[in-house]
Amino acid sequence: MLDEKMRESLNFQLNRELYSGYLYLAMAAYFEDQDLPGFGNWMRIQGQEELSHAMKFYDYLVQKGSRVQLAEIETPQKEWDSPLAVFEQVYEHEKMVTGLINDLVDLAIELKDHATNNFLQWFVAEQVEEEESSSGVLHKVKMVGESNRGLYMLDQELGQRIAPTD
């Protein structure tokens, strides 16, 4: 059985992961509306990944005999000024999620909850990948600037992203 504070914190993170999926789906819809289906594809896959992360927290809570407590998911932003603004937000969001994961690890260490600490190590490594991936696309968006040709080429590249099968 999990410590009450750990259970509450894991439930909070589960809901933050659901929000992340919702946010990235809103970004996908924005890109589809902007006629950038490759960008939309990248975001849809990102959203799917976040939902799978939420389910990892869900399953862990159940496995540990703890109650899953879903909370209201806030409405995500719907409009952005540019693809650059979207990816700046994505990168900042991923850094924030990294902070939340690190806080969970700190709590697990404080509580000497070795099983939860072990569970969270997957997310620690995942956040390194998430930050690298989002900063990489952000860098490319900055490189193309306002170039329609550059955005078109980047849209084609992002459209090639395939959902992982883990």
What DSSP line would sit under 132-161, residue for residue? Answer: HHHHHHHHHHHHHTT-HHHHHHHHHHHTT-
Residue numbers in the chain where pLDDT is lower than 70: 166
The tokens of 15 are what?
């809901």
**Predicted pLDDT at 164:** 79
CA distance 153 to 100: 34
- Rg of the chain taking only CA atoms, in angstroms: 17
**Predicted pLDDT at 163:** 84
Superfamily of domain 4-71+79-158: Ferritin, core subunit, four-helix bundle (1.20.1260.10)
Core vs surface per residue 7-33: b (16+ CB within 10 A) or e? bebbbbbbbbbbbbbbbbbbbbebbee
Number of H helices, E strands in the chain: 5, 0
**Predicted pLDDT at 30:** 98
pTM: 0.94
**Predicted pLDDT at 166:** 61
**Predicted pLDDT at 165:** 73
Cα 15–chain centre separation: 12
Q: Please give the single-letter amino acid code of residue 15.
A: N
Judge whether 113 and 3 are in contact, CB under 8 Å.
yes
